[in-house]
A and B are shown apart, each in its own frame.
Chain A
């Protein structure tokens, strides 16, 4: 190849490169992330600890020393573990707390799902528009109404999603008192936002043809939602429901720390009584239910999905 031809080629490549828009936003984002990370690591401690290093190691030693179950520590025989554990489970109300934890998660997931279903048609961009699913909706006296409904329901989802369950639980207990309602509502409000967003995405991505058929035959938006979109995406919604139920179980274990019977309550009590052996037992029990919940949810989701 001649040098001349090569030169024109390079010039052409340089031209093509200039033509391509540069992804400035990606570059700036990368820079911002690096700077933010650097700032986070160099801006000092989050918490100035008052403990000295020796106090700390003494603490740790005491903690580890008290981790083995008390009767086992006394006798040195692990056969004493079983009666101790059974006593904690039955008389120490651990079993009841496990049941409560699961019940909290189930009730909350159901409530959030139910309310999300009510708001989803408003938040789905393909329904809450003057032209549902691309079919003209006729003359609208106030076409902006759809835009407003859409924005409001979306805002409701984002806002409720941004409130952490634990803080909601704390606030609701200060209003309602130590009532299981407070925790159920706390879980439900946060998950309402998440399920609502996921659900409206499902509705937006649902195959439009059955819904169009409903509208073409004289049905309205709600008719299309109830008769075509919901049955069509039933499985997907149930999959999301179980996915959130699984996280609800995880959160429910800690919400008890706020003072209503669930595993978290037992954990904080054991901590306050400095029975670290019991505390560890409850923590591991909690881990066990979370794993069991994960497994159950995984099995149901697998069963609902034919192929990945």
Chain B
């Protein structure tokens, strides 16, 4: 995605590093970050307790609860709910993102110097979809969620839409960048033998970009799983919800179980994406 040639010699490499370092120091000062504070009070003991629990994730409730379903069953149903939330959000975001990306990219446009009329239609369409794209992703999914919840209360639809809005924007941005940046040689060759611009896009550019599009979509699914977990904090009973409950009781070992589950989900998605890509490229 970010391939290409880079300036070999930055006007001054040292200046760049210096500027970054300066900004970082100012930030540390603004936030009052003192490294010593990390080791003060009972921070160290708590951290040690928390990290040691990593070696013994819970397989049962740390404190038995009367009449509750077995811990591992809860883990499984929580995992499935998290996955389902991510899938629901993505299945809305992918078509919306793809549509926005097409509207925002010029790769499939006919020559608008020849079709003057079409240009008058396409240009504002492109601009407005770029604005929608930028705006929808500039507000974080949790804030969209918060807005929806304050406006009409929490519901399945509200949660899905809250995630789908910024995700469509991000997917659209990356998709359209991929359309613009992929090599156009096949598309041009097809246009040279009389293909219309849309057909040349579909047959020459889209198949080329497809592996990249799929890889990125899988990365986004990974993010959606994380976001779904976080939405536990606004009340949907995903992994985040369970972590919050366990943390209120200081049940660190239960927390680690859920963290490991999240890790496993991410690993599986990453493995799948890699395996697909390998088979699509060779």
Cβ of B97 within 8 Å of any chain A Cβ, yes or no, is no
**Set A103, A104, A291, A304: member contacting B26, Cβ < 8 A:** A103
Report yes or no: A102 in contact with B4, Cβ–Cβ below 8 A.
Answer: no
Report yes or no: B38 in contact with A63, Cβ–Cβ below 8 A.
Answer: no
Report yes or no: B266 in contact with A175, Cβ–Cβ below 8 A.
Answer: no
Report yes or no: A107 in contact with B236, Cβ–Cβ below 8 A.
Answer: no
Report yes or no: B155 in contact with A47, Cβ–Cβ below 8 A.
Answer: yes
Cβ of A176 within 8 Å of any chain B Cβ, yes or no, is yes
Cβ of A118 within 8 Å of any chain B Cβ, yes or no, is no
Known: A25-B276, A170-B247, A239-B2. A161 touches B16 (CB 8 A): no
Residue of A63, A181, A184, A306 contacting most chain B CB atoms (<10 Å) = A181
CA distance A166 to B135 in the complex (A): 22
Residues of the B chain whose Cβ atoms lie less than 8 Å from the Cβ of A51: 152-153, 155
Residue of B31, B137, B236, B237 contacting most chain A CB atoms (<10 Å) = B31
Residues of the B chain whose Cβ atoms lie less than 8 Å from the Cβ of A176: 38, 43, 46
CA distance A107 to B156 in the complex (A): 36
Closest to B89 in A: A40
Residues of the B chain whose Cβ atoms lie less than 8 Å from the Cβ of A287: 135, 138-139
Scan residues 203-237 of chain B and give those whose CB is less than 8 A from a CB of chain A.
Answer: 226-227, 229-230, 233, 235-237
Cβ of A142 within 8 Å of any chain B Cβ, yes or no, is no
**Set B138, B180, B259: member contacting A294, Cβ < 8 A:** B138
Report yes or no: A170 in contact with B243, Cβ–Cβ below 8 A.
Answer: yes
User: Closest CB-CB distance, A95 to chain B, in whole Å?
Assistant: 12
Known: A158-B270, A294-B138. A167 touches B13 (CB 8 A): no
Cβ of A37 within 8 Å of any chain B Cβ, yes or no, is yes
Report yes or no: A107 in contact with B146, Cβ–Cβ below 8 A.
Answer: no
CA distance A63 to B267 in the complex (A): 41
Report yes or no: B24 in contact with A166, Cβ–Cβ below 8 A.
Answer: no
CA distance A45 to B159 in the complex (A): 11
Q: Chain B's interface: helix, strand, loop or mixed, by majority?
A: helix
Report yes or no: A171 in contact with B50, Cβ–Cβ below 8 A.
Answer: yes
Report yes or no: A40 in contact with B84, Cβ–Cβ below 8 A.
Answer: yes
Cβ of B61 within 8 Å of any chain A Cβ, yes or no, is no
Contact indicator per residue, chain B 256-268, by CB within 8 Å of chain A (1) or not (0): 0001001101110
Give the number of residues in A that approach B within 8 Å (Cβ atoms): 80
Cβ of A88 within 8 Å of any chain B Cβ, yes or no, is no
Cβ of A79 within 8 Å of any chain B Cβ, yes or no, is no
**Set B10, B81, B140, B159: member contacting A251, Cβ < 8 A:** B140
Report yes or no: A167 in contact with B146, Cβ–Cβ below 8 A.
Answer: no
Cβ of A222 within 8 Å of any chain B Cβ, yes or no, is no
CA distance A252 to B46 in the complex (A): 25
Residue of B24, B255, B267, B272 contacting most chain A CB atoms (<10 Å) = B24
User: Closest CB-CB distance, A20 to chain B, in whole Å?
Assistant: 13
CA distance A161 to B267 in the complex (A): 10
Report yes or no: A43 in contact with B84, Cβ–Cβ below 8 A.
Answer: yes
Report yes or no: B243 in contact with A180, Cβ–Cβ below 8 A.
Answer: no
User: Closest CB-CB distance, B228 to chain A, in whole Å?
Assistant: 9
Closest to A175 in B: B46
Scan residues 22-56 of chain A and give those whose CB is less than 8 A from a CB of chain B.
Answer: 23, 25-26, 29, 36-37, 39-41, 43, 45-47, 49, 51, 55-56
**Set B4, B31, B152: member contacting A180, Cβ < 8 A:** B31
Cβ of A147 within 8 Å of any chain B Cβ, yes or no, is no
- A-B CB contact pairs (8 Å), 7 listed: A36-B87, A46-B236, A163-B259, A166-B233, A171-B50, A175-B47, A283-B139
Q: Which of A's residues lie within 8 Å of B, judged by CB?
A: 23, 25-26, 29, 36-37, 39-41, 43, 45-47, 49, 51, 55-57, 59-60, 63-64, 99-100, 102-104, 106-107, 110, 158-159, 161-164, 166-167, 170-171, 174-176, 179-181, 184, 231, 234-236, 238-241, 243, 250-251, 253-254, 257, 264, 267-268, 271, 276, 279, 283, 286-288, 290-291, 294, 303-308
Q: Which of B's residues lie within 8 Å of A, judged by CB?
A: 2, 4-7, 10, 13, 16, 20, 23-24, 26-28, 30-33, 37-38, 43, 46-47, 50, 81, 83-85, 87-88, 91, 134-135, 137-140, 142-143, 146-147, 150-156, 159-160, 180-181, 226-227, 229-230, 233, 235-237, 239-240, 243-244, 247, 255, 259, 262-263, 265-267, 270, 272, 275-276, 279-280
Give 8 nearest A-B pairs by CB, closest first.
A103-B27, A162-B266, A40-B87, A235-B6, A164-B226, A287-B138, A106-B27, A110-B24
Taking A37-B87, A107-B33 as known contacts, 20 extra A-B pairs with beta carbons closer than 8 A to each other, sorted by chain A number, are A29-B276, A41-B88, A51-B153, A103-B28, A106-B27, A107-B24, A162-B226, A162-B267, A164-B226, A170-B233, A170-B243, A235-B10, A250-B138, A254-B143, A257-B142, A264-B143, A267-B146, A291-B134, A305-B5, A307-B4
